[in-house]
């Protein structure tokens, strides 16, 4: 099985930078995804990491360290619309099929 941990809630100020951490334990790691989910809506894809290092995409960046079982999502120049839940999900190859297991999500509140 897998264990994925991320903070439950975070608050940050508009225009600032925030880092959302995710730690995981898995036996057959095959990639890590970050999703954004606004209240009452479906999750939408933000980033994918399978190799160690930083992936940058506009205001959002995601980092992975496989040896440490650790990832973070970095949001720069925060905007009010970034208030949402951010889900860390780990893809695991086990029992002959791929599974994606989600953390419980981090609810980010951006304040003026």
How far is the CA of 75 from the CAs of 14, 27, 93, 99, in angstroms?
Answer: 11, 29, 29, 27
2 to 31, contacts with other proteins by CB under 8 A?
Answer: 8, 31
Longest dimension (CA), the chain: 48
Q: What is the nearest approach in angstroms of other proteins to the Cβ of residue 18? A: 20
3-state secondary structure labels for all residues of 22-51: EEEECCCEEEEEEEEECCCCCCEEEEEECC
Q: Return the residue of 24, 33, 63, 72 that touches other proteins, per CB under 8 A.
A: 33
**Residue 104 makes contact with other proteins by CB under 8 A:** yes
In angstroms, what is the C-alpha Rg of the chain? 14
Contact with other proteins (CB under 8 A) among 18, 20, 64, 91: 91
Q: How many residues bind other proteins (CB under 8 A)?
A: 24
Q: Which residues bind other proteins (CB under 8 A)?
A: 8, 31, 33, 35, 40-45, 48, 50, 87, 89, 91, 97-105
């Amino acid at each position: 099985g897998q264990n994925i941990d991320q903070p439950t809630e975070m608050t940050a100020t508009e225009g600032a930078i925030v880092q959302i951490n995710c730690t995981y334990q898995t036996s057959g790691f095959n990639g890590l995804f970050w999703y954004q989910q606004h209240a009452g809506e479906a999750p939408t894809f933000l980033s994918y990491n399978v190799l160690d290092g930083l992936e940058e995409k506009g205001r959002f960046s995601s980092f992975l360290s496989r040896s440490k079982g650790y990832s973070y999502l970095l949001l720069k120049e925060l905007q009010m619309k970034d208030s949402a839940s951010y889900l860390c999900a780990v893809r695991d190859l086990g029992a002959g099929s791929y599974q994606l297991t989600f953390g419980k999500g981090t609810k980010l509140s951006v304040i003026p």
